[in-house]
């Protein structure tokens, strides 16, 4: 995975009120300081705190290589209220991704995941924990074929996907797509090295996974809030690469 620290002047704010703020986290940016990435110089938590001139409180996590919507609260009380919404599936999260191969239609992946034990895992993690329930809904948005071989075929095919995770396990989307043999492009942990190499050679080394939309009921106003991001420069580049490379899946 390309975890190089991006040089950022400030975070793009996608939504803000007196209780919450949502930012567009660039790929490669950590949410907060971590001993596993001592080389990192910038962190979303500290950047937003300095940008707003007040304390902010993280509500959920977004993997370092994943770009997209990240929510913070502006008080401990607001953080507690929204954290309960996340825990009780009151927040609908939508991601877009580019995956290997042809995946069609829409379906649900219901496949329990065992806790990952590596240097990224919390120190309290235990190897004897049972697999946890993990559910992901997906929908295919388009199919593309590039005139480059990464195996026995003269070309390579890919699918643009929309994901709605109903649970929040670590690396859930990446591991679920590995499970169904359609790994996300740019995933060097759970992905396909040959496909990743192809995209690196084409100038795209990041994980092709973006948290595009968050929908939730505001804990204070009870209003339905929907926040959706536009494509960042990386995704604009991906879509430009795939332009005019679509094909129709028969059957």
Residue 210 CA, distance from chain mean position:
4
Look up 63 and say whether it is catalytic: yes
- Given the residues 63, 118, 192, 233, select the one marked as catalytic: 63
Radius of gyration of the chain (CA): 18
Which residues, including other chains, have CB under 8 Å from residue 138's CB and lie 6 or more apart? 103, 106, 107, 108, 109, 161, 162, 163, 164
DSSP 75: S
User: Other CB atoms closer than 10 Å to residue 10's CB: what's the count?
Assistant: 10
Residue with token string 């106003």: 221
DSSP-assigned letters across all residues of 93-138: EEEEEEEES---SEEEEE--BPPP-STTS-TT--TTPPPBP-EEEE
In the chain, what is the straight-line distance between the N-terminal and C-terminal CA atoms, in Å? Answer: 35
Active site residues per annotation: 63
């Amino acid at each position: 995975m390309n975890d190089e620290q991006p040089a950022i002047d400030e975070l793009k704010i996608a939504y803000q009120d007196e209780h919450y703020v949502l930012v567009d986290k660039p790929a490669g940016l950590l949410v907060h300081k971590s001993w596993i990435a001592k080389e990192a110089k910038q962190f979303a938590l500290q950047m937003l705190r300095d940008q707003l001139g007040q304390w902010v409180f993280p509500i959920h996590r977004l993997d370092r290589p994943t770009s997209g919507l990240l929510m913070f609260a502006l008080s401990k009380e607001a953080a507690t209220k929204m954290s309960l919404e996340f825990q009780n599936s009151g927040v609908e999260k939508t991601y877009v991704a580019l995956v290997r191969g042809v995946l069609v239609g829409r379906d649900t992946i219901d496949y329990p995941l065992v806790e990952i034990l590596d240097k990224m895992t919390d120190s309290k993690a235990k190897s004897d924990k049972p697999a946890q329930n993990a559910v992901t809904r997906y929908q295919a948005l388009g199919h593309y074929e590039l005139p480059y071989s990464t195996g026995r075929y003269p070309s390579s095919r890919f699918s643009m996907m929309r994901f709605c995770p109903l649970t929040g396990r670590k690396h859930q989307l990446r591991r679920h797509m590995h499970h169904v043999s359609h790994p996300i492009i740019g995933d060097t942990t759970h992905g396909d090295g040959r496909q990743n190499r192809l995209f690196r050679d084409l100038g795209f080394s990041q994980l092709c996974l973006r948290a595009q939309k968050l929908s939730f009921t505001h804990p204070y106003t009870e209003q339905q809030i929907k926040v959706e991001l536009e494509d960042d420069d990386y995704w604009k580049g991906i879509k430009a690469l795939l332009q005019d490379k679509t094909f129709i899946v028969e059957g």
